[in-house]
Structure 1
Amino acid sequence: MTALSSDNCSFQYQLHQTNQPLDGNCLLFLIILGKILLNILTLVMRRKNTYQNFMEYFCISLTFIDLLLLVNISIISYFRDFVLLGIRFTTYHICLFTQIISFTYGFLHYPVFLIACIDYYLNFSKTTKLPFKCQKFFYFFTVILIWISVLAYVLGDPTIYQSLKAQNVYSHQCPFYISSQSYWLSFFIVVILFMAFTTSWSEVITLIQAMRVTSYMNETILYFPFSSHSSYTVNSKKILLPKFIICFLGTWLPFVLLQVIILLLKVQIPAYIEMNIPWLYFVNSFLIATVYWFNCHKLDLRDIALPVDPFVNWKCCFIPLIIHNLEQSEKPISIII
């Protein structure tokens, strides 16, 4: 079994070496605790009328895994050296478990992105109509399967095993895996957003100047004025793109700027921190917008099942195309200048 090198491996693991002693378990405990609180806060802040989908189930499972890791760290930190089921646990296992979780999280970005994309496409095309209970079981089974598959890959990969085994010799060091998947996925999303904004920046500025905050069906929304020259199907991508950009950036602009800073400064964030629920919901909103924009020619805008997002209200993009007399039926709340 050979050591890890860039010459004999088809892919390269990026390990962020830190001279972090295992006595710093309190800091690791606080970091994971803060991440769990952030995940729970994000779940509480989401809109409650969202339908069941793969991303929702995976976000809940991620919170459970983080909580399980926190409990393990707490137990080992408290007892320090004990035997359970014939296995001796010491403070070294805190680093080992966190490393395994980091590798597992680091390899989950692409599979979760792909499965969520397929899930939204199938829901949009309505090719599969499963009963509600069967759909819940299917999502639950898919989430369990993806966790087991990635964990089995991490534990069975020789190079990962060798890197974990080497830390048993140099126990004063506790390196954590830096995921290249999250970097390239973030780079891809930022580039797509930049290209979309560049191609329609004039329309975006015009809509921002003309849009208003109004009330529709007892819900506060952004109202984009309807153009008399537009139609229900012709050039609908051109019509919807600036509206999608405004709705997306209006919700996720701070997170987009954070991703730009991370990319420009090449900040190395351990995978056990980087895989979090705010990041997943950010990717989720991007996927919803992408799927509906590419398939907008299939939409019957007069009888549309609007996309449901835990944070972004995509209804604002479609209401002007569905109801032209909204100004007469609903009284505007305010005007944005």
Structure 2
Amino acid sequence: MYISIPAILLGLGGKCLLNWALVILQRDDICKSLLGVFSVSLAVVDTILTLFFAALHFHADRFVFLLGLKLTRYHVCLLVQILGEVYNALQWPVAVAAGCDHFFTVARRPHAVTGRTRFIVRLLATGLLWYVTVLYVFLLSDFRPVMEDVSYGEIYQCWTVHTTQILQVAVFLLLSLGCAVLHAGFSTRFFTNPPSRDQMTEQSRAHSRRDAVHQAVFIFLNTWAPFLCFLAVLLLAPVGIPAYLGLNTAWLAFLNSFLIAVVLCAVGPASQITQGPAAVPPDSFCEWRFPFILAGEDRT
């Protein structure tokens, strides 16, 4: 679809404000997870590119030199398409890497790794995600920019692609969460006969797991149900979401809570909660720790 350059700049500017607002809102927990570190890097990248695009657009009658290259308004459309392609390609790697980070946070032993070491690893992983994705877009993908044959001074609209990876990631995570809920729901139905002593232990574990899954789903939906409805309407709308706006801190915050719910359902938080609050990945929007800690204390 074609979008005017002022509308692109306005959208990017609004996205930058949203990015930094959510980064500041999550400042206490922002560097304690891979998604938090990546959110900060995304806010920085978006801000730098938005200022650069604005400089190219408002200097339409002149040239901007960068690293020996002469850039004009004509390059805004090219760079916006490259940015959208990079953000599209980042969706799955970020989701997978964040899921692994949350899994190791829940499954690890307390104080197994120092906080500084975890931060350095997450910082390196964030840089690696950006680097590998950019290389993929330029060297391995079939990306071909769509450019009109007009002079740089007459360009007022740019062709931009829609983002489809958000819908794919959301559907996959919904299916994963649904499978975890079904597994927890049917796990207690195997005990049809009066249980023996060994079966009592297995049955109590199954009930504990089911309760934890129900609790995780309830906490997640209690916080993010309005956003889920808004996201469904936005993704099903005929206009679609431009790719350069698809990757933002609001989506990453939602993805963070979603991945925490999936990991807690899959790993079984009842067996891990004895480690205390450190066993639950940080989340500034969902209160995971309080209910799970109470549940663990009641069972002990």
TM range (shorter): 0.7 to 0.9
**Preserved CA contact (<8 Å) 1:302 1:321:** no
Correspondence 1:108 to 2:90: yes
Q: Give the structure 1 partner of residue 46 of structure 2.
A: 66
Name the % identity. 26
For structure 1, list consecutive stretches of 5 or more residues without a partner in the other structure.
Answer: 1-16, 202-230, 326-337
Q: Give the structure 2 partner of residue 238 of structure 1.
A: 210
In 1: Cα distance, 2:165 partner to 2:78 partner: 22
What is the TM-score normalised by the length of structure 2? 0.80
Q: Give the structure 2 partner of residue 312 of structure 1.
A: 286
**Preserved CA contact (<8 Å) 2:88 2:163:** yes
Q: For residues 210-265 of structure 1, what are the alpha-carbon distances to aligned partners after superposition, in whole Å with 9 as ceiling and x for unaligned?
A: xxxxxxxxxxxxxxxxxxxxx97342221122221221111111111112223444
Counterpart amino acid of 1:321?
Answer: A
- Aligned with 1:255 (options 227, 230, 237): 227
**Preserved CA contact (<8 Å) 2:32 2:119:** yes
Q: CA deviation at 1:147?
A: 0.5
**Preserved CA contact (<8 Å) 2:184 2:209:** no
SS at match of 1:167: coil
Counterpart amino acid of 1:106?
Answer: N
In 2: Cα distance, 1:76 partner to 1:47 partner: 32
1:36-47 equivalences in 2 (<5 Å):
36-46=16-26
SS at match of 1:174: strand
**Preserved CA contact (<8 Å) 2:107 2:272:** no
Counterpart amino acid of 1:318?
Answer: F
What is the TM-score normalised by the length of structure 1? 0.72
Q: Give the structure 1 partner of residue 188 of structure 2.
A: none
Count of paired positions: 274
Q: CA deviation at 1:280?
A: 0.8
In 1: Cα distance, 2:271 partner to 2:183 partner: 23
Counterpart amino acid of 1:313?
Answer: E
Structure 1 pair 318/50, CA: closer, same or farther in 2 (3 Å)? Answer: farther
Q: CA deviation at 1:117?
A: 1.0
1:81-92 equivalences in 2 (<5 Å):
81-84=62-65, 85-92=67-74
Q: Give the structure 2 partner of residue 56 of structure 1.
A: 36
In 2: Cα distance, 1:29 partner to 1:95 partner: 11
Structure 1 pair 292/200, CA: closer, same or farther in 2 (3 Å)? Answer: closer
Give the CA RMSD over aligned residues: 3.0
1:76-225 equivalences in 2 (<5 Å):
76-80=56-60, 81-84=62-65, 85-126=67-108, 129-157=112-140, 159-160=142-143, 163-164=144-145, 166-167=146-147, 169=149, 174-191=158-175
In 1: Cα distance, 2:142 partner to 2:169 partner: 24
Q: For residues 173-230 of structure 1, what are the alpha-carbon distances to aligned partners after superposition, in whole Å with 9 as ceiling and x for unaligned?
A: 52212233212112233455677789999xxxxxxxxxxxxxxxxxxxxxxxxxxxxx
Correspondence 1:288 to 2:252: no
In 1: Cα distance, 2:240 partner to 2:75 partner: 23
Which structure: greater helix fraction? Answer: 2
